[in-house]
Every structure is written in C-alpha cells, then in structure tokens.
Amino acid sequence: MRPNNSHRRQVLKAAGISIALPQLESLADSDESSNVGQADLGKASRLVCIGTYLGFYRDAFFPKQTGREYQFSTLLGEVADHRDHFTVFSGLDHRAPNGHAAWNNFLCGQSPNAYSLDQQIADRIGRETRFPSIQLSAGKASQTMSHTRRGVALPMIQRPSVLYGKLFATEADRKRTDYLLKSGKSALDSVLEDADQLQRSVSGADRVKLNEYFDSLREVERRMTRQLASDLPVPSTDYQLPDYDPVAPTLQLEAETLMYDLMALALETDSTRVMTLFIGGLGQVFTIDGRTLQAGYHALSHHGNNADAIADLVKVEREHMRCFNGFLNHLKLKTDSTGKPLLDSTIVLLGTGMGDASRHANSNLPILVAGGGFGHGQHLAVERKEAGAPLLGDLYLTLMHQLGVEVDQFSNAKQNLNHLFS
C-alpha cells in the first residue's frame, strides 16, 4: 500500500488508522494544495485560544514594570525562555458584567454567547483543513467558550484519547484507537512498511522531520496508555458527591499536557488551523511537589486574601503555566513546510474571562499573546479609566488582521492595537 493523498495532504493509511504527515518539502510538488489559502492570509495562518476558567491571580501574573525591561512575575517566570516570543497585556477587558456567568465573554466580546473570535477565524480560514476548528477542554467544561455565528455553543472534547482518535482514526474505526492505546501498541505499527518507504524517498531534512514527528507521536501514545491504564472502574458507594465533580490529584494537569501535545501534532500535520482549549477549575484537589494542597482549586480561587490559600492557588497556576510552556516549546521546535517554526505562524492567545475569581470580577483580564509573527517582548499596560481606552476586542481586531481577516469591529471594539506591535 502506498501513501495516500487525502484531504489535500499526504497521509499513511491502513486498517482504519490515518497518520497525517507534517508538511514536507519533498511532497510540495505532489501536494501543492497543502498550503492553499495561506498566501492570501496575513503573517500568521493559525490561531490557538486557551482560556482558564478561574483566571490567574493577577499579582502573580502581571509584571510590576511595563515596556521591554520588565521583570518576570511568578507565573511568567515559567515561560521565561520565550520572553522574545510573547507580549503581556494588562488593563484589557470587554466591559462585561461581573460574575461566573459572564466568563464566556472571553472570546465573544461584551455579549456572552456571541460569534466568538475563534469561529470568526475558522469560518474564514478553516475550510482548507480536515477540521475547520477543534474545541477542547482539560478538566470539566463548566462554561462554553466557542460560539457559531448564530450563537450556538460548540461542544468540547474532554478526553485526550478522544482527540487522538479524531486525529488518527476514521469515523468508522474509532474503537480501534482505544484498543491500540490499551494494548500499548502504536498507530505507526499498522503503517510501518509505508513509513519506512516514505522515509527512503524524501530528502535528508524531511527524514529528520519525520523521525521527530514519529517519535513525538509514539511518546504521546505511551503517555496516553499510562493514563488509560489508571482509568479503571471504581467500587460503587452510597456516598453522595458534592455539587462539583472531583478529579484525582494531578489528573487534570496530565490531561492538559496530553492535550497540548496532541494540539501541537494537529497543527504540525495541518489537520486544523484553529483550536481552543478550556482549562476547567472546579473541586480538584491537587498534589504538587509531594504535598496535597489545603483545598480544591475552586475553593482556593476564593482565597479572601488569605496568604496560605493564595500561595496554594499560585502553585496550581504555575503548573498551568508549565504545561503552557511545554506547548510553546513544541511550536518553537516543530516546523512548517518552509522550515520555519510553527510558533512564527501560529497566534497563541492565553487568557480568561475572569479577572479576579475571588470577587467574580471580569475587569483587567490577564492576557498573553505569543507567536504569530508579531514583534514581542513587552508588557503593555492599558489605563482602563482613560476615555477611549482600548478594549480586549481591539486586541482581537489586531489578531484578526494578522491572520488576514480585515474587519473593523469586534463586539463593542472599533479600534485596533496594530500600532503597539509595529
């Protein structure tokens, strides 16, 4: 069996398993359409939006200094290696009402459930890929994040194994992926002969790229195998659970890391160009550095300025930032068909609809933008109380322009922040 050209890209396919390949220079002539539409886009061609339900403790997120000479805050220190590849914003929000119910304003603007940023982009550039957009959640999805033009909330995939099946199995044979993972086998085992044949037919640079990609895929599979092995039936009990849905210590963080790994593979294979990840936050009681924290994640967010609760909350948030740092590492190391790092052409938005979870305040949202071909390396602070002060939607206009989507309004925002990146 020879490699098949499917969905305008080269894939290795057998027994219901479809291994999409990264963009290779050797396949450019036979797969010219793999970059269809990119020439018409802006400097960036991909968008990833990551939203944390409980936000970040702002004193640990925002640097005290502005401009390029700022000192890292506690949380930003976890992504210090990428300083020149991201920009931090303070003072931005949608002027939305307070409360958890308004969290899903994050990508929608002032009106919750409105046409979200990611879907506006997906409707413009998503048709060139297998999946116009992919919506994910690490931790229980207690809020909605992505909404269609008609305001319909899109469901989120919550299990890494389901995302793996979506990326690497046909619709009719998704159960096979669970079998592969639980047996400790790899999807590559089914297409090993074709993979070897392909590696012999491409350039030296592409062989290196394929080896790195296959190694990454096998490592993700091994980690999911370990996670599935721990996902065993538990004894029944008459005990009634509280209103939240408890999660075993570190399970959410492990799922979060796996989601990031799979997201990087999805972008590398151009399976999609638009992704969202919701990072939940309910009653999880984490064990970090060998110590079980004093309360659940949600309870810690209602710290009431208690120093011990804040310290534990920041420990959880540092873990989220470490997971995020791993994702940025992936995008910096993985390349597109031109040999450029994926981070250069992928806008990564990290933020939240919750400015202060302790008070349910939705102003001054912690926001970070990485990659996407922007000039980075700053902390840009907006004086919210000034007349005509920019909104978070103004930043979204700039992100859309960078993706080649020319619009002049997003929700209640009509400016843009293009000048801040020039």
Which CATH number is 92's domain given?
3.40.720
Specify if 353 maps to a domain: yes
pTM of the model: 0.83
Determine the pLDDT at residue 172. Answer: 57
Tens of pLDDT, residue by residue over 146-201, are 999 999 999 999 988 888 888 876 655 555 666 666 666 677 777 777 888 888 88
Specify if 213 maps to a domain: no
Determine the pLDDT at residue 200. Answer: 83
Specify if 323 maps to a domain: yes
Which range, of 90-94, 210-214, 306-310, averages the lowest pLDDT?
Answer: 210-214
Determine the pLDDT at residue 9. Answer: 46
SS3 351: strand
Determine the pLDDT at residue 261. Answer: 92
Determine the pLDDT at residue 128. Answer: 83
Closest CA to 206 of 218, 191, 195: 195
Which range, of 141-145, 334-338, 373-377, averages the lowest pLDDT?
Answer: 334-338
Count of structural domains within the chain: 1
Determine the pLDDT at residue 239. Answer: 30
Tens of pLDDT, residue by residue over 221-273, are 777 776 555 443 333 333 333 343 333 434 788 889 999 999 999 999 899 99
Domain, as residue range, for 339: 34-170+246-421
Specify if 87 maps to a domain: yes
Specify if 267 maps to a domain: yes
Specify if 381 maps to a domain: yes
Q: Per DSSP, what are the bridge partners of residue 49?
A: 276, 349
CA 338 – CA 340 distance, rounded (Å): 6
For residues 141 and 103, the answer to whether their CB atoms sit within 8 Å is no
Specify if 398 maps to a domain: yes
Determine the pLDDT at residue 240. Answer: 36
pLDDT for 357 beyond 50: yes
CA 373 – CA 388 distance, rounded (Å): 27
Specify if 262 maps to a domain: yes
